A and B are shown apart, each in its own frame.
Chain A
Amino acid sequence: MNETAWQHALLDAITTPQWQPDPRFPAAALAVYRNNYRVGLMEMLALVYPICRQLLGEDFFEALSREYVKATPSDSGNLHRYGGSFAGFVAAFEHTAHIGYLPDVARLEWALHRGYYAADATPLAIDTLAAIPQQHWGELRFSGHPACAVLDSPWPLADIHAHHQPATAGCAVDMATAQPLLLWRDSDGLMQLHQLAPGQAAFCQALLHGATLDDASAAGLAATPDFDLQAALLLVLQHGVLSAIKEPS
């Protein structure tokens, strides 16, 4: 077996979900590497998804993580990138598919995790926008801050999150309330949640996807006729959602 084939075979033997004795590799050595592989990925999931873990209980979460790792090979040398498809997995997995809010809680935790490590960017200053004649604003497109995300969820994500934080543990959660969220990073580098008013989620989402201000405003209005563009724009600027004005292409 040449060098490339041997490395390939060793990766196979380590990552394959079912343990099989492999005459090419000593059993004890393979056991160490197989254990390292699984434990490393499962520990990362526990770190990224603490609320899911609390919601499901430690034992169930561990079993769920084990199943996720079986189904989801690592695709990065940076362990912090592992686990991005967990929300989709729990939505489809037969023992969690009935927990309607769980995928959105997982999406929230993934966005908080990625946002915390996301690249730095200078938030767009109000003065920068003010320097542009207002009649041109509608055509402007923006770059989003890498740490920001919008979650347009039908579930009370802000309450569920607060319920699982030490300072607000056990606070009431009304499962019938939708709480669309803006996630942003404060000046200390900590991720913050801001509950969005009707229309604001569609507006922010559109801006983060590179829509013009006019199109984003139309998206907000399509969501609700009461959409207040001025308030939404102020919110976006105050929370540093945008980092720059894109050059017209």
Chain B
Amino acid sequence: MTAPLPVCAGIGLRHPHYSQVLAQQQPLGWIELHSENFFDGGQPLAMLQQLAACYPLSLHGVGLGLGAAARPDATHLAALRRLLDAVPAVAVSEHLSFNHDASQRFANDLLPIPYTRAMLDLVAANVAEAQDALRRPLLIENLSSYLAYPGNDMHEGEFLAELVARTGCGLLLDVNNLYVNQQNLGTDVDAFLAALPPHAIGEIHLAGYTERTFDDGSTLLVDTHSRPVYPAVWQLYRQVIARFGARPTLIEWDIDIPPLDTLLAEAATAQAILDQHTEAAT
């Protein structure tokens, strides 16, 4: 296994800040970019290679759909493999979600999956296939969901723990997703966290959600990555760090992207929480 991500705060780097981050050496512990934006070559790939020479790089996929009942798309997997051959990524992650069926029909989104024994067999095979093809372990991220399969016979935390045991994958714990699920679906946060194997958690995500009200008067917290991290999510993050110890932590912001300084300030808040934990532990 390659060296893990540094145990400090990083930011999700998006298009508006590419040149600024390349031009001036920024105080960034590490950066994460979306894998699919760098398939297959040209200027995007060249820029990613430059960034990887300056900062520890995490590549975060949104398109493999490893939680599909159908197998992963071979074309997509091959493109990701070529990318990993071309760029030295420290960590590679994907979601516990699906986006396609066996007839090559896709929804370019992160859709929730059933948490059942039968599904576990399928997803474990998909993750194993991807890890074999990529010749490295993946970090698999818990999902923000707005609905649930009615026949679940375990919760997402138990499902992820089983997936780690069967495939040797690591986990990416998205604290905002967990909070959003608690509010939307009544997810039991303590049960979820208690089920996770601590050693497998290689990365944490933080982001801001948007509250949306619908025609029928119901509301949902939508995982928009368009806002600062909410106080309740910071609070949950502190609990997570107290429970599992310091972990590489990423600020994600994908819509209405603010100036780089705003992202760096969010990262500094995460760093302060990591530092507090480390000081308290020594």
Contact = CB atoms under 8 A, between A and B. Distances in A.
A118 B39 CA distance: 8
Interface in A137-189: 146-147, 185, 188-189
B230 to A, nearest CB: 18
A8 B99 CA distance: 10
A248 to B, nearest CB: 28
Contacts of B149: 3, 6
Given A77-B76, A78-B36, A78-B79, A37 B107 contact: yes
A79 to B, nearest CB: 5
Query: Chain A interface: which size bin?
Result: 35 or more
Given A14-B107, A30-B147, A33-B109, A79 B36 contact: yes
Interface string B148-166: 0111000000000000000
B212 interface: yes
Interface string A16-59: 00000000111111111100110011000000000000000000
B108, B119, B149, B216 — most chain A CB neighbours (10 Å): B108
Contacts of B216: 27-28
A11, A37, A77, A118 — most chain B CB neighbours (10 Å): A77
B222 interface: yes
24 contacts: A1-B151, A3-B114, A3-B116, A3-B119, A3-B122, A6-B114, A8-B101, A14-B107, A14-B111, A15-B107, A26-B147, A29-B146, A29-B220, A30-B147, A32-B146, A33-B109, A33-B111, A75-B105, A76-B76, A77-B36, A115-B42, A119-B42, A120-B41, A190-B43
A40 B108 contact: yes
What are the 10 tightest A-B residue pairs by CB atom distance, in nearest-first order? A189-B43, A77-B63, A29-B146, A120-B41, A29-B147, A4-B69, A119-B40, A28-B214, A74-B106, A119-B41
Contacts of B147: 25-26, 29-30
Contacts of A77: 36, 62-65, 73, 76, 99-100, 106, 108
Nearest to B214: A28
A7 interface: yes
Contacts of B62: 77
Contacts, number: 134
A130 B40 CA distance: 31
A116 interface: yes
B37, B39, B73, B106 — most chain A CB neighbours (10 Å): B106
Interface of A: 1-4, 6-8, 10-11, 14-15, 24-33, 36-37, 40-41, 73-80, 82, 115-120, 146-147, 185, 188-190
A27 B214 contact: yes
Contacts of B222: 32
Nearest to B67: A7
Nearest to B61: A77
B3 interface: no
Nearest to B120: A3
Interface in B94-127: 98-101, 104-109, 111, 113-114, 116, 118-119, 122
Interface of B: 36-37, 39-46, 62-65, 68-69, 73, 75-76, 79, 82, 98-101, 104-109, 111, 113-114, 116, 118-119, 122, 146-147, 149-151, 212, 214, 216, 218-220, 222
A189 to B, nearest CB: 3
A120 B107 contact: no
A188 B119 CA distance: 46
Nearest to A77: B63
A192 B125 CA distance: 44
A211 B156 CA distance: 55
B69 A146 contact: no
B104, B146, B150, B220 — most chain A CB neighbours (10 Å): B146
A37 B114 contact: no
A10 B218 CA distance: 20
A193 to B, nearest CB: 16
B101 A117 contact: no
Given A6-B114, A78-B36, A33 B107 contact: yes
A7 B101 contact: yes
A75 B104 CA distance: 6
Contacts of B118: 2-3
